Amino acid sequence: MDRPFVTVLMSCFNASGFLRESVESILGQTFADFEFIIIDDGSTDNTISVIEMYAAEDKRILGIYKEHTGLTDSLNVGLARARGQWIARIDADDMALPDRLADQLDFVRVHRDISLVGGGCVEIGEGGNFIKRHNYPAASAELIDRLEKMIPIFPHSSIFFNREFVSGLGGYNARFTRAQDTDLYFRIGENGRLACGHKPVLKLRRHSETISNEDEGRPQVIMGLAAIICHFLRKNNLPDPSRMDEWAWQAFIGWIERRLGQEDYLKEMASRLAIRDILYRESGITRMEKVWMIAKKLIRDPSARSIFKGFARRNDLALKLASEAGSWQIMGQGRSDVSR
């Protein structure tokens, strides 16, 4: 069997609600020389039957079925099976625009020094309604600078990367059960170049399950900060906690969580997520009711007003924690002191 030039990689967990639209957006691409690896990560709904239905109809689809181990492990399983020179990621609730693969392939053929390219996106609601268009900087240095300041860049679902290059870096870092994309972007930026195309390539869906609640948001923020701190430590030729033993890694994550608590950041984050939840509600609430609910939240909850602090607060905190972690390591006390 001929080797495909592109592998499209998707991981699913109880994704049957939007899976058909996502799969069909890939099968309808104007560029057709791809294999489509769809990994079921231990779903308990009818996700598997949906995958099997499409796999029976299109020989480009390879379904992989495994126990539930999370997104990072599932993507590494897919990378190990992928045959394409380039990997295109897609999430099971997003939709690729028709020319996505063709456009991103054209981009990397022209820019041969690029190991990963992301794309802009059109944000849509649960029912497909337009919310907002997102564009991102094109250059590698500016993208990394944004990440260091905790400013979002292109969505994980939009990336197109060189399989051999990323496999040479060890693939996705298994320690990052969340923010695995942020960690990957940093490591690519440290060893190569990333970029962002000018055209949107994706419809990024926001719905009740993707809008993080407090419990889900905490590990995302903690892991995101861990990725930034590990990046700064590597830049300063200091040991990377994500490459240490499990005891040291858990102590490091615990220290980040305690420091976030001391800075009241987790409380501020929970308030911001509550406001975002109001903004993204689609049914049973009018725009004026949303405005009134947000106003009451801002009046009654001082932590909610942190939304006006913007990214400066996040950047200051990331640099502060990276400096503290670096100081411990320089003094040779990282393993003992970080657990306190």
Question: How do residues 92-119 score in pLDDT, each as one tens digit?
Answer: 999 999 999 999 999 999 999 999 999 9
Residue 164 and residue 299 in one domain: no
- pLDDT (0 to 100) of residue 261: 82
Residue 77 falls inside a structural domain: yes
Going by pLDDT thresholds of 50, 70 and 90, the confidence category of residue 323 is: confident
Q: Would the CA dihedral through 92, 5, 81, 173 be positive or negative?
A: negative
Work out the average pLDDT over 265-294. Answer: 61
Domain that holds residue 295: 214-337
> What pLDDT, in 10s, does the model give residues 40-75?
999 999 999 999 999 999 999 999 999 999 999 999
Residue 146 and residue 179 in one domain: yes
What is the Cα–Cα distance from 25 to 115, expressed in whole angstroms?
Answer: 24
Please list, in sequence order, all residues whose beta carbon lies within 8 angstroms of the beta carbon of residue 326, skipping any fewer than 6 positions away: 232, 233, 236, 238
What is the Cα–Cα distance from 86 to 90, expressed in whole angstroms?
Answer: 13
Residue 137 and residue 175 in one domain: yes
What is the Cα–Cα distance from 218 to 228, expressed in whole angstroms?
Answer: 16
- pLDDT (0 to 100) of residue 319: 81
**Half-sphere exposure for 58 (CA within 13 Å, toward CB):** 19
Residue 284 falls inside a structural domain: yes
61 vs 217 pLDDT, higher one: 61
Residue 138 and residue 285 in one domain: no
Residue 51 falls inside a structural domain: yes
Please determine, for residue 272, whether its predicted confidence score (pLDDT) is greater than 80.
no
**Helical (H) or strand (E) element with 8:** strand 6-12
Residue 199 and residue 234 in one domain: no
β-sheet bridge partners, residue 38 = 10, 63
Residue 142 and residue 181 in one domain: yes
Query: Of 149, 175, 205, which one is at a domain's C-terminal end?
Result: 205
> What pLDDT, in 10s, does the model give residues 156-191?
999 999 999 999 999 999 999 999 999 999 999 999
Going by pLDDT thresholds of 50, 70 and 90, the confidence category of residue 212 is: very low
Residue 1 falls inside a structural domain: no
**Domain count of the chain?**
2
CATH number, domain of 60, equals 3.90.550.10
Residue 10 and residue 159 in one domain: yes
Residue 33 and residue 75 in one domain: yes
What percentage of the chain carries pLDDT values higher than 90?
65
Among 25-39, 116-130, 218-232, 315-329, name the most confident range. 25-39
Residue 108 falls inside a structural domain: yes
